[in-house]
Amino acid sequence: MPDLKPDPVNTPRAPDTNLRARMRSEVRRDQVICLAIAAVLLLAIFALQPLLQARRSHLVQSSDKSIGQLLLTFPRLALGGFRGVLAMALWENAEHDKNAQKWRPLETDYNAIAALEPYFGTDYIFNAWNMSYNLSAQYHGLDTKYKWVLDGLVYLYKGEHYVPDNSNMIINEANDFFLKLGTSFERKYYCARWRYDIAHLYRYKPGEKGKQFGTLPEVYFIVHQPEFNCTLLKPLSGHGPIGHGVRVGKIHYRYGLSVFYFAWVEYGRAMSQPKLPSDSGIEVLDSWQPMALRLWCRDDIYYAQRLTNRIFNEPPARMLRRFPARVRNILDCYRNVAINGPRDVREWHAYLQKFPDQYNVHHSHLLETRYFMALAKAESAMFQGLVAWQNNGRKFRLGDAADQHLLAAIALYKQAMVAYHTYLHEAYPRTAGFPKGMGRNGQMRFMHAMEARIAGIESFRLTAQTGQPNLTFLDPVTLSDSD
């Protein structure tokens, strides 16, 4: 057998104890040096801190805006590519919370999604739609529904801070005013509540919190968006006004301002963007502004009619307490129609010249605005006659100031009936095929209401001298609040 001897090359050598000891010594020396340098640098930092703070105060101005930018930038830098994954998880969680009717967690989900994707306008549009339309529909109380609609609007306006000049976001703001606050099933409450909140903005102090403010913080935030050009008016008296309101340009709206003004502004702003909204064709988009002005006229007349009926049928003691303020309120409504009616007619003429193929669709709306203008003149004359009668201690005689206003109102109502007949002939022609109650016969009730106004005024002139006039002619409403 061969002689197996260990290979001298692969044979392990005995450890060099001196080498290991020398290496340990060098490592300890390096550690001591590093610790000493760290201690010196730490002491230097503490010594230089006051100087650095003084220098930094001149270079970096800390503000809410910079902090807000940090809150937006930090998730983008820290999460990197995982930001999209987390956003998708939040979307799924939001849908789960919505289906489970967990409304507060849902609102938190939306805010987190906006923080992760702050520069995507679609996020704000989708979430605001959910708040204004889907979530508001989950509640029975009108005040809670109204609060959710305002939350949706506030969400959009806050989103505009990060996604400015997005026409799709702007037109969704306009639609919230027009379609949700102005023409939804709850419109009577929404329109009146919006007016009330604007008239009472003097009760809200920015920065203060409390349930007593109701929805005033949201309305305050929305109304003070720069495009609306609204400034708060001073109180009418030191005891607190019935109305406070806002000024737009040179016009005072002490007792509230219609939601359709805000829709009109936002539709115009959407159409002025370099890129038009993508949800409709140009013929539809261009019609929204005159449509908003038309319904602004109708809204003011309807509100003034209902308030007139209410105050003249209240007990005298309650009526007298707020009578002067309510008179100014109603006269402001008729003033608004006198301003906006001609403007709307001009806008409709410009629209129909631009889109002549839309004549059959929108010319009737132009004629309806003319009817509103004629009706507002008649209603204003009748109202001024009743005010003169009230201010004269409810004493009436033929030929006095009140009677002159009422005679003028009768003539103006007859002109309004002609204007309404012209509108009716074009909007509801004598043809078959209209659903029952929605065709010409269904619309004739407004013509009959004006006839009842004339008959009631004539009866009032004959019975007011006895001191017990019949005011039931104020009950019929001479125009619809639906569209």
Annotate 32-75 with DSSP letters as a single string: HHHHHHHHHHHHHHHHHHHHHHHHHHHH----HHHHHHHHHHHH
Q: Which residue has the tokens 């998730």?
A: 75
Q: pLDDT-derived band of residue 64, with 50, 70 and 90 as boundaries?
A: very low
- Cα separation, 299 vs 440, whole angstroms: 22
Rounded to the nearest 5 percent, the helix, strand and coil shares of the chain are: 70, 0, 25
Which of 126, 152, 174, 150 lies closest to 271, judged by CA? 174
- Residue 266 token pair: 């936002």
Asked whether the predicted pLDDT for residue 68 surpasses 60, the reply is no
Distance of CA 102 to CAs 17, 99, 124, Å?
72, 8, 19
- pLDDT tier at 227, thresholds 50, 70, 90: very high
User: Residue 179: exposed, middle, or buried by beta-carbon count in 10 A (0-12, 13-18, 19+)?
Assistant: middle
Q: What pLDDT band is residue 131 in, cutting at 50, 70 and 90? A: confident
Taking residues 86-105, what's their average pLDDT?
71
Flag whether pLDDT at 13 surpasses 60. Answer: no
State pTM to two decimals.
Answer: 0.79
Q: Is 237 left (phi over 0), alpha (psi -120 to 50) or beta?
A: beta
Confidence at 35, pLDDT banded by 50, 70, 90: confident
- With a cut of 70, say whether residue 180 has pLDDT above it: yes
**Location of structure tokens 């000493």:** 36
What pLDDT, on a 0 to 100 scale, did the predictor assign at position 56?
Answer: 52
The DSSP call for residue 108 is H
Q: Model confidence at 40, in pLDDT bands (50, 70, 90)?
A: confident
Structure tokens at 187: 């419109």
Half-sphere exposure of 233 (CA within 13 A, CB side): 24
Cα–Cα distance, 255 to 200 (Å, whole number): 8
- Candidates 326, 332, 298, 297; CA nearest to 312 is 326
Please indicate whether residue 236 or residue 268 has the higher confidence score (pLDDT). 268
Query: For strand 230-232 and strand 246-248, is the pairing parallel, antiparallel, or unpaired?
Result: antiparallel
- Provide the percentage of residues in the chain whose pLDDT is more than 70: 79
Longest dimension (CA), the chain: 151
Structure tokens at 238: 């030191």
Rounded Cα distance between 62 and 127, Å, is 31
Confidence of residue 72 (pLDDT cuts 50, 70, 90): very low
